[in-house]
Amino acid sequence: MELKTMKNQTSFSHLRGLKLAALAIGTSFVLAGCAGNPPTEQYAVTQSAVNSAVSAGGTEFAAVEMKQAQDKLKEAEIAMHDKKYDQARLLAEQAEWDARVAERKAQAMKAEQAVKDSQKGVQELRQESQRTVQ
Protein backbone atom coordinates (compact mmCIF):
# COMPACT_ATOMS: atom_id res chain seq x y z
CA MET A 1 0.00 0.00 0.00
CA GLU A 2 2.81 2.34 0.92
CA LEU A 3 4.57 1.66 -2.41
CA LYS A 4 1.42 2.50 -4.33
CA THR A 5 1.07 5.85 -2.50
CA MET A 6 4.67 6.75 -3.23
CA LYS A 7 4.14 5.95 -6.92
CA ASN A 8 1.09 8.25 -7.03
CA GLN A 9 3.02 11.06 -5.34
CA THR A 10 5.90 10.67 -7.78
CA SER A 11 3.48 10.66 -10.74
CA PHE A 12 1.70 13.69 -9.34
CA SER A 13 4.91 15.71 -8.91
CA HIS A 14 6.07 14.62 -12.37
CA LEU A 15 2.72 15.72 -13.82
CA ARG A 16 2.96 19.04 -12.00
CA GLY A 17 6.45 19.57 -13.45
CA LEU A 18 5.09 18.92 -16.94
CA LYS A 19 2.28 21.40 -16.39
CA LEU A 20 4.75 24.07 -15.28
CA ALA A 21 6.96 23.37 -18.30
CA ALA A 22 3.94 23.58 -20.62
CA LEU A 23 2.91 26.85 -19.00
CA ALA A 24 6.41 28.29 -19.46
CA ILE A 25 6.52 27.21 -23.11
CA GLY A 26 3.03 28.57 -23.74
CA THR A 27 3.95 31.91 -22.20
CA SER A 28 7.05 32.07 -24.38
CA PHE A 29 4.95 31.49 -27.49
CA VAL A 30 2.47 34.17 -26.48
CA LEU A 31 5.24 36.69 -25.85
CA ALA A 32 6.96 35.78 -29.09
CA GLY A 33 3.64 36.10 -30.89
CA CYS A 34 3.18 39.62 -29.53
CA ALA A 35 6.61 40.62 -30.74
CA GLY A 36 5.85 39.23 -34.18
CA ASN A 37 2.71 41.27 -34.81
CA PRO A 38 2.98 44.59 -36.60
CA PRO A 39 1.72 47.49 -34.48
CA THR A 40 -0.87 48.54 -37.06
CA GLU A 41 -3.34 49.83 -34.47
CA GLN A 42 -0.71 52.02 -32.78
CA TYR A 43 0.47 53.22 -36.18
CA ALA A 44 -3.09 54.25 -37.11
CA VAL A 45 -3.54 56.05 -33.78
CA THR A 46 -0.25 57.87 -34.35
CA GLN A 47 -1.19 58.90 -37.88
CA SER A 48 -4.45 60.27 -36.54
CA ALA A 49 -2.61 62.21 -33.80
CA VAL A 50 -0.18 63.67 -36.35
CA ASN A 51 -3.04 64.69 -38.66
CA SER A 52 -4.88 66.26 -35.74
CA ALA A 53 -1.78 68.20 -34.73
CA VAL A 54 -1.33 69.47 -38.28
CA SER A 55 -5.00 70.54 -38.37
CA ALA A 56 -4.57 72.36 -35.05
CA GLY A 57 -1.70 74.38 -36.50
CA GLY A 58 1.17 72.33 -35.15
CA THR A 59 3.39 72.99 -38.14
CA GLU A 60 3.02 76.75 -37.57
CA PHE A 61 2.91 77.01 -33.78
CA ALA A 62 4.93 73.93 -32.71
CA ALA A 63 7.28 73.28 -35.59
CA VAL A 64 9.94 71.45 -33.56
CA GLU A 65 7.49 69.02 -31.97
CA MET A 66 5.73 68.44 -35.30
CA LYS A 67 9.00 67.65 -37.05
CA GLN A 68 9.92 65.19 -34.30
CA ALA A 69 6.52 63.50 -34.56
CA GLN A 70 6.69 63.25 -38.35
CA ASP A 71 10.29 62.00 -38.32
CA LYS A 72 9.52 59.32 -35.74
CA LEU A 73 6.43 58.28 -37.69
CA LYS A 74 8.59 57.80 -40.79
CA GLU A 75 11.13 55.81 -38.74
CA ALA A 76 8.30 53.65 -37.38
CA GLU A 77 7.11 52.99 -40.92
CA ILE A 78 10.62 51.91 -41.95
CA ALA A 79 10.91 49.69 -38.87
CA MET A 80 7.56 48.07 -39.70
CA HIS A 81 8.73 47.47 -43.25
CA ASP A 82 11.88 45.84 -41.85
CA LYS A 83 9.68 43.76 -39.50
CA LYS A 84 11.25 45.32 -36.41
CA TYR A 85 7.86 45.50 -34.74
CA ASP A 86 9.00 46.32 -31.21
CA GLN A 87 11.04 49.26 -32.47
CA ALA A 88 8.17 50.34 -34.74
CA ARG A 89 5.73 50.28 -31.81
CA LEU A 90 8.07 52.31 -29.62
CA LEU A 91 8.70 54.90 -32.33
CA ALA A 92 4.99 55.13 -33.12
CA GLU A 93 4.18 55.71 -29.45
CA GLN A 94 6.84 58.41 -29.20
CA ALA A 95 5.56 60.04 -32.39
CA GLU A 96 2.03 59.99 -31.00
CA TRP A 97 3.10 61.83 -27.85
CA ASP A 98 5.18 64.32 -29.81
CA ALA A 99 2.15 65.00 -32.00
CA ARG A 100 -0.09 65.43 -28.96
CA VAL A 101 2.40 67.90 -27.45
CA ALA A 102 2.49 69.80 -30.75
CA GLU A 103 -1.30 69.90 -30.89
CA ARG A 104 -1.62 71.18 -27.30
CA LYS A 105 1.11 73.73 -27.85
CA ALA A 106 -0.60 74.96 -31.02
CA GLN A 107 -3.93 75.20 -29.20
CA ALA A 108 -2.28 77.14 -26.36
CA MET A 109 -0.57 79.52 -28.78
CA LYS A 110 -3.85 80.10 -30.63
CA ALA A 111 -5.65 80.74 -27.35
CA GLU A 112 -2.92 83.16 -26.31
CA GLN A 113 -3.24 84.96 -29.64
CA ALA A 114 -7.01 85.13 -29.20
CA VAL A 115 -6.58 86.69 -25.76
CA LYS A 116 -4.17 89.27 -27.18
CA ASP A 117 -6.59 90.05 -30.01
CA SER A 118 -9.45 90.43 -27.52
CA GLN A 119 -7.36 92.72 -25.32
CA LYS A 120 -6.46 94.80 -28.36
CA GLY A 121 -10.13 95.00 -29.32
CA VAL A 122 -11.08 96.12 -25.82
CA GLN A 123 -8.33 98.75 -25.88
CA GLU A 124 -9.55 100.05 -29.25
CA LEU A 125 -13.12 100.25 -27.94
CA ARG A 126 -11.94 102.22 -24.90
CA GLN A 127 -10.04 104.64 -27.11
CA GLU A 128 -13.07 105.02 -29.39
CA SER A 129 -15.39 105.67 -26.47
CA GLN A 130 -12.98 108.30 -25.09
CA ARG A 131 -12.92 110.08 -28.47
CA THR A 132 -16.69 110.33 -28.64
CA VAL A 133 -16.92 111.67 -25.07
CA GLN A 134 -14.44 114.50 -25.69
pLDDT in tens, 113-123: 999 999 999 99
Strands (DSSP E) contained in 1-134 are none
For domain 38-118, give its CATH number from 3.40.50.920, 1.20.1270.390, 3.40.50.300, 3.30.413.10. 1.20.1270.390
The model carries a pTM of 0.65
CA distance 125 to 55: 33
Query: Burial level of 55, CB count in 10 A (0-12/13-18/19+)?
Result: exposed
Residue-level pLDDT at 82 = 97
Residue-level pLDDT at 29 = 46
Domain ranges of the chain: 1-35, 38-118
Neighbouring CB atoms inside 10 A of 52's CB total 15
pLDDT in tens, 27-41: 444 444 445 799 999
Residue 51 near residue 102, CB atoms below 8 Å: no
